[in-house]
Structure 1
Amino acid sequence: MLEEIRPPRRAVVVGAGLGALATVVAACSTSGTTSEATSKADSSTPAAAGTSGAPGSGALAKTADVPVGSGVIVDEVVITQPTAGVFEGFSSVCSHAGCKVSEITDGKIICPCHGSEFNLDGTVAKGPAKTSLETKAVSVQGDSIVAG
């Protein structure tokens, strides 16, 4: 009679596996949504408003939108201004595990995934990342910062 109440072992194992898979998928979906929300929030900053220049202009941001001693994240590029008039570009992909950096706070570029921090010149300030952010070429043309 006890066997009638117990579900077959295969059903329990399959059910547990599906439950674990659902948890992983949900966690990944939540993580992606958070990153996308952060990216969308970053895209709505004044720097992103400067990107809507003439089609094909390649403008990433206006120089006025990148604070001295800080920076902005525009799409796949982090633009910093460590000192007045000096603009640097980096990939927004963290060198540790490939997550996107999410913010620039107190002179540090922050990756939300594992807590890596980078200086405004792209070098590692705090691990677990061991290598600098990849450099992206940017230049100033008039009052705009462009790729290249």
Structure 2
Amino acid sequence: MSHDASIIVCDDEIDLAHEIGEFFQGHDWRVLVCGTAEAARKALLAGFAPQCLLTDLRLNEASGADLISFARQLPPYLRPRIFALITGHAADPEVASLGADLIFFKPADPFDILSDLERLTREPGTTSELPPA
């Protein structure tokens, strides 16, 4: 990647989160792996403002939708530009109303995730720049 790409990967399946993180690191992304929504919230509030937030829908202690909602309400200098959700629950009615820019269904191909995120990081503006819904 020719730009400074960065991502938070949040998934309570920590081995999977690390695998995704290592994949992105291998493609020159700056990566922070979090096993809980709380860890991701703390990182965002501490000033790690990644271009992308990739979160699982169902985390042990929270919902990925709640994490996206929290992040959307941050000031623009702390807010990720792109919100992506990964889930194994395609039939979950919550999926349609999450406010994610991208939704991937497990098992997701990491090359597809990378391709979609790289495309969006190159585009000027995203829906994430709109006020929170």
Q: Higher helix fraction: Structure 1 or Structure 2? A: 2
Normalised by the length of structure 1, the TM-score is 0.24
Normalised by the length of structure 2, the TM-score is 0.26
Q: Higher strand fraction: Structure 1 or Structure 2? A: 1
Greater relative CO (CA pairs within 8 A, separation 6+): 2
